[in-house]
């Protein structure tokens, strides 16, 4: 079997071999990034089937994100010695997909709520019914509920000390009823229901235990208590439970993931075999070197040795653009340079910390010819829930008859979005708003003030207008007062800062709105295009990239306040963590939050195989920002000098003047090289406008070459 594998180019080192050949009982592969954990898991599947005559149906292969699951299934299908047909019979997927199948098999046919918004709206309605108008932030409540469930608790476990406790509890119970009445469940319920079924239905549990004799679990560091319980139930009594993970890659703590589960595995299963893997086959030694330096600064970790398989060849390149806008332009250029040198678009992945971090690049690429797919952003920045109402204010400043925009600002005035505002004055609709008969006295003043504010904003430049408008709007968003929404407040602030940054580029509100509308139109086109083209540059959050690898990785926003994210830096320093690992002093909340950020940097860096670019914009959301401490620390450790600092090694482009087709639409940056002088007329492939001939400095080979 192994010789056949090698014949097909799948090699295993002695440690990997030992892991694959581990026979029965529990085992834990605790090893660093790129050391072959996923390879071991998939080969082990084939090995069990091929050498131990285990039927594929008896194997359950679990992981945590959908992309990782797809990658795993795909790898499984490629392993020689296991037919595609057999690979297809293995139960493989994310926890949610696998256990949803169990529920469906049991005849549970509830509909799954996939839209966060639907849940939030439901909670808002329930709040109203209970007379709690906007007292709680639905997002925060839902997150709390999710944590509760993932930590094996129920709403009944919540305290009832204060009135607030009681209100919250009854609200959450009403939410559960709301779902039940409509036969709805959310993602967490899939696992909760599966767990309850397995626990209460002995026959079913025993059937599952007999059926799934071998359980293999990847990315085990991100297990939460609920998932762990389920796995333990099914693995019993033989416990052929094979888990692989890396505590340095725990990045889902906010989803109740707890690497302590993995680190305590050998206590839960004293007979478990520990199988270390020591060599990283993915990344260039220079890239791995940086990754090792970054993660070494974490205090609360299981220290592992990890060495590169190959010789050092490629130095990570640091970019230090002045702003996120410049970052976007540089990365765009870099993509041209890379593709000119032979890299294909699909080999490039661009990773970012939050959706906001990629705003400028997303727009830059949308207006370019670079094929790309964004895995984290399906709508433009300006359509996001925090941003759209502010844009609607701007629209009204431009046109006080804009009905859609008017309904967009109503909620921030505590007026229902669907309220119809009849035009009772001869002026614009906006002027009729304070005359709405149903307004209460306090509302009337609020509305009058707002109308004045919008008029005032109309005479300002876009950035100043956003500054004016965001003030009452932000106050509305964070009017909770419960003190629990600090993270959300920070998110709102960050998002609106980014809106200001974007607005700064335009002289007039009209130009800004025109740009936003054009962007929306183009995003539609890009979306259609990317549904058919899968060979583009990939744009995704670091969270989504876990478990994946790419020849070229570009990490955006490696600056203070972005990575580490300001929410981590602001995390309350005096609250202590409830579950400090045994024997260790309890770390502060802030320290833990910071360590999670460092792990994010580690995950990002270790996704790169051949080339790594890390960009640290000097300005973030309009404010000056230093280079990420994670990079500075790493540089101090390596003793690298300023001269080595890759800020110097900015890409150099060889360009040449060429006659090109240039889009006549001034908002469109598309251009194409003229292939034949005979061409008379051409339509822009992006916006459809006419293109005109122009002389332009272009990289020596264009991206399409
Ligand atoms: P992560 O922690 O990021 O999930 P991992 O430990 O799962 O990483 P893999 O993705 O399995 O690592 O392996 C990393 C890369 O190294 C893959 O491209 C894999 O095919 C390759 N690889 C693994 N083992 C070997 C080996 N013995 N020889 C050559 N290449 C290998
Ligand atoms: Mg893996």
Q: Any binding-site annotation on 32?
A: yes
For the chain, the domain total comes to: 5
Looking at the structure, tell me whether residues 364 and 397 fall in a common domain. Answer: no
Round to whole Å and give the CA distance between 331 and 344.
15
Which bound ligand lies closest to the C-alpha atom of 218?
A: 2
667 in Cβ contact with 684 (< 8 Å) = no
DSSP, collapsed to helix, strand or coil, labels residue 87 as helix
Note the Cα 593 to chain centre separation in Å: 17
Residue in 515, 450, 531 with CA at minimum distance from that of residue 667: 515
246 lines ligand 1 (CB under 6 A): yes
Angle, in degrees to the nearest 10, between helices 324-340 and 486-503? 70
94 lines ligand 1 (CB under 6 A): no
Confidence band (pLDDT; 50, 70, 90) for 21?
Answer: very high
How many angstroms separate the alpha carbon of residue 89 from the centre of ligand 1? 24
CB atoms under 10 Å from CB of 121, counted, come to: 12
Round to whole Å and give the CA distance between 260 and 217.
16
Supply φ then ψ for residue 179, to 5 degrees: -65, -45
In sign, the C-alpha dihedral spanning 418, 422, 427, 431 is: negative
Beta bridge partners of 274: 28
DSSP, collapsed to helix, strand or coil, labels residue 341 as coil
CA Rg, the chain, in Å?
28
How many angstroms separate the alpha carbon of residue 307 from the centre of ligand 1? 13
547 Cα nearest atom in ligand 1: 4
415 lines ligand 1 (CB under 6 A): no
Kindly state the DSSP code that residue 160 receives in the 8-state scheme. -
Angle, in degrees to the nearest 10, between helices 225-235 and 202-211? 80
What single string gives the DSSP state of each residue in 463-475?
HHHHHHHHHHHHH
67 lines ligand 1 (CB under 6 A): no
CATH number of the domain residue 526 falls in: 1.10.486
Note the Cα 195 to chain centre separation in Å: 27
31 Cα nearest atom in ligand 1: 6
In sign, the C-alpha dihedral spanning 251, 253, 255, 258 is: positive
Q: What is the pLDDT of residue 304?
A: 83
What single string gives the DSSP state of each residue in 186-206?
-HHHHHHHHHHHHHH-HHHHH
Pocket test for ligand 1, best of 8, 14, 36, 277 (most atoms within 8 A of CB): 36
Convert the pLDDT of each residue in 284-340 to its tens digit: 998 999 999 999 989 888 888 888 988 888 888 889 899 999 999 999 999 998 988
Write down the ipTM of this complex.
0.99
Looking at the structure, tell me whether residues 26 and 154 fall in a common domain. Answer: no
Give residue 123's domain range.
111-182
Residue in 408, 347, 371 with CA at minimum distance from that of residue 528: 371
Q: What average pLDDT score do residues 200-220 get?
A: 94
Round to whole Å and give the CA distance between 196 and 402.
52
Looking at the structure, tell me whether residues 346 and 205 fall in a common domain. Answer: no
Structure-token pair, residue 84:
């595609």
Looking at the structure, tell me whether residues 525 and 435 fall in a common domain. Answer: yes
Q: What is the pLDDT of residue 587?
A: 62
281 in Cβ contact with 309 (< 8 Å) = yes
CATH number of the domain residue 51 falls in: 3.40.50.300
Which bound ligand lies closest to the C-alpha atom of 282?
A: 1
Which bound ligand lies closest to the C-alpha atom of 42?
A: 1
Residues ≥6 apart with Cβ < 8 Å to 653? 333, 336, 337, 699, 700
Looking at the structure, tell me whether residues 177 and 224 fall in a common domain. Answer: no
Looking at the structure, tell me whether residues 365 and 498 fall in a common domain. Answer: no
Q: Any binding-site annotation on 33?
A: yes
Lowest mean pLDDT among 241-250, 323-332, 683-692: 683-692
- Whether 6 has a pLDDT exceeding 70, the answer reads yes
In a domain, 381, yes or no: no
Q: Any binding-site annotation on 688?
A: no
Looking at the structure, tell me whether residues 525 and 539 fall in a common domain. Answer: no
Higher pLDDT: 155 or 662? It is 155
13 lines ligand 1 (CB under 6 A): yes
The C-alpha angle 230, 232, 237, rounded to 5 degrees, equals 130
Q: Any binding-site annotation on 36?
A: yes
- Whether 191 has a pLDDT exceeding 60, the answer reads yes
549 lines ligand 1 (CB under 6 A): yes
Pocket test for ligand 1, best of 39, 69, 307 (most atoms within 8 A of CB): 39
Looking at the structure, tell me whether residues 210 and 352 fall in a common domain. Answer: no
Q: Any binding-site annotation on 38?
A: yes
Q: What is the pTM of this model?
A: 0.83
Looking at the structure, tell me whether residues 507 and 539 fall in a common domain. Answer: no
Looking at the structure, tell me whether residues 616 and 680 fall in a common domain. Answer: no
The residue to which tokens 């581990």 are assigned: 22
Which residue's alpha carbon is nearest to atom 28 within ligand 1?
Answer: 11
Q: Is residue 658 within a helix (H) or strand (E), and if so which, with residue range?
A: strand 655-663
Looking at the structure, tell me whether residues 495 and 410 fall in a common domain. Answer: yes
Looking at the structure, tell me whether residues 272 and 321 fall in a common domain. Answer: no
């Amino acid at each position: 079997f192994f010789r056949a594998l090698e014949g097909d180019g799948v090699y295993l080192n002695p440690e990997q071999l030992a892991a694959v050949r581990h026979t029965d009982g529990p085992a834990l592969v605790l090893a660093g990034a790129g050391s072959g954990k996923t390879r071991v898991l998939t080969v082990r599947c084939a090995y069990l089937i091929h050498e131990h005559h285990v039927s594929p149906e008896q194997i359950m292969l679990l992981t945590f994100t959908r992309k990782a699951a797809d990658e795993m299934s795909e790898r499984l299908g490629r392993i020689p010695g296991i037919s595609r047909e057999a690979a297809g019979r293995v139960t493989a997927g994310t926890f949610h997909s696998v256990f949803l199948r169990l529920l469906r098999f049991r005849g549970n046919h509830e509909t799954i709520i996939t839209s966060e918004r639907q849940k939030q709206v439901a909670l808002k309605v329930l709040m109203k019914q209970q007379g709690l108008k906007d007292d709680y932030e639905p997002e925060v409540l839902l997150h709390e509920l999710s944590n509760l469930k993932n930590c094996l608790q129920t709403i009944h476990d919540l305290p009832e000390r204060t009135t607030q406790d009681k209100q919250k509890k009854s609200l959450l119970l009403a939410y559960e009823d709301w779902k039940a009445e409509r036969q709805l469940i959310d993602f967490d319920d899939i696992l909760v229901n599966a767990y309850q079924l397995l626990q209460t239905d002995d026959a079913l549990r025993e059937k599952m235990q007999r059926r799934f004799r071998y359980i293999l679990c990847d990315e085990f560091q991100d297990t939460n208590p609920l998932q762990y319980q389920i796995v333990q139930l099914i693995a019993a009594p033989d416990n052929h439970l094979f888990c692989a993970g890396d505590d340095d890659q725990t990045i889902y703590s906010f989803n109740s993931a707890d690497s302590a589960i993995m680190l305590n595995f050998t206590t839960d299963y004293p007979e478990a075999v520990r199988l270390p893997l020591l060599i990283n086959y993915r990344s260039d030694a220079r890239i791995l070197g940086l990754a090792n330096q970054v993660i070494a600064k974490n205090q609360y970790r299981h220290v592992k040795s990890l060495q590169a398989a190959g010789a050092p060849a490629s130095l990570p390149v640091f970019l230090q653009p002045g702003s996120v806008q410049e970052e976007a332009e540089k990365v765009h250029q870099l993509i041209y340079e890379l593709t000119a040198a032979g890299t294909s678009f699909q080999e490039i992945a661009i990773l970012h910390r939050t959706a906001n971090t990629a705003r400028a690049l997303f727009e830059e690429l949308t207006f370019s010819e670079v094929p790309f797919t964004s895995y984290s952003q399906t709508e433009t920045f300006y359509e996001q829930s925090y941003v759209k109402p502010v844009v609607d204010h701007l629209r009204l400043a431009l046109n006080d008859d804009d009905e859609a925009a008017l309904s967009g600002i109503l909620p921030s005035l505590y007026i229902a979005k669907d309220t119809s505002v009849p035009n009772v004055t001869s002026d614009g609709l906006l002027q009729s708003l304070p005359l709405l008969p149903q307004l209460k006295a306090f509302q009337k003043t609020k509305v009058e003030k707002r109308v004045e504010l919008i008029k005032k904003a109309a005479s300002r430049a876009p950035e100043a207008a956003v500054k004016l408008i965001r003030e009452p709007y932000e106050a509305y968003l964070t009017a909770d007062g419960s003190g629990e929404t600090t993270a959300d407040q920070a998110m709102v602030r960050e998002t609106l800062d980014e809106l200001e940054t974007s607005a700064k580029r335009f002289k007039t509100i009209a130009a800004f709105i025109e740009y936003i509308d054009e962007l929306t139109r183009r995003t539609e086109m890009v979306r259609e295009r990317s549904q058919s083209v899968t060979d583009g540059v990939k744009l995704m959050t670091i969270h989504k990239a876990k478990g994946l690898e790419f020849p070229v990785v570009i990490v955006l926003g490696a600056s203070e306040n972005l990575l580490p994210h300001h929410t981590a830096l602001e995390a309350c320093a005096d609250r202590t963590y409830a579950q400090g690992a045994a024997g260790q002093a309890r770390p502060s909340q802030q320290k833990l939050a910071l360590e999670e950020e460092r792990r994010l940097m580690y995950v990002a860096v270790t996704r790169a195989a051949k080339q790594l670019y890390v960009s640290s914009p000097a300005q973030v959301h309009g404010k000056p920002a230093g280079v990420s401490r994670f990079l500075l620390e790493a540089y101090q450790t390596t003793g690298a000098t300023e001269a080595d600092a890759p800020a110097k090694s900015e890409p150099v482009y060889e360009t040449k003047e060429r006659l090109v087709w240039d889009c006549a639409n001034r908002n469109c940056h598309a251009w194409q090289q003229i292939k034949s002088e005979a061409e008379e007329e051409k339509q822009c492939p992006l916006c459809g406008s006419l293109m005109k001939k122009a002389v332009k400095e272009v990289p020596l080979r264009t991206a399409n070459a």
